[in-house]
Amino acid sequence: MVSQPVDENPPRFEVRVTSDSHFSWLRTRLSVERTLMSWVRTAVSLIGFGFTIVQFFERFQDMQGVAPALRPQAPRVLGLALILAGVGALAVSLWQYRSLLRYLWSKQFAQLAGVDKDPHKTPLFAVTIVLLLIGIFTFIAVLFRLV
């Protein structure tokens, strides 16, 4: 009796190419886009709010009739922390987005994805990169008091 070779990497599940499967793949792909948009919305809010806190309290201290703050650096530290949290959220979201797209466009799902072999690029990825760069610039500007 001859033994059959054991497959080292058996597939986790069988992929059947049907219209239902294709539309499920498309829904999953769009869900990944919506998730990145949610991350971007949250990160931009964190960056913007952090910058606003820094600017507001710096201007507030310059106003006449305002008592000096007990901890004048606290708003700046809080603002920097919020900006850094927003930049970190953008970095994590880009990593998650890229890894999920790599999985969805893998050989296992190639037939479901469509006719193209390369993943389709969306403007959202470029927008996220630009916002990441803006967040880094904002952090550096607030850190070194450039604004």
Residue 60 confidence class, pLDDT cut points 50, 70, 90: confident
Average pLDDT, the chain: 87
Q: Higher model confidence: residue 145 or residue 5?
A: 145
| Spatial distance between the Cα atoms of 14 and 25, rounded to a whole number of angstroms | 14
pLDDT tens, position by position, 81-104: 999 999 999 999 999 999 999 988
pLDDT tens, position by position, 22-51: 888 889 999 999 999 999 999 999 999 999
Section 64-85 average pLDDT: 87
| Spatial distance between the Cα atoms of 90 and 3, rounded to a whole number of angstroms | 51
Global pTM reads 0.81
| Spatial distance between the Cα atoms of 101 and 15, rounded to a whole number of angstroms | 17
Alpha helices by DSSP H, listed for the chain, are 19-61, 74-104, 110-113, 123-143
| Spatial distance between the Cα atoms of 126 and 132, rounded to a whole number of angstroms | 10
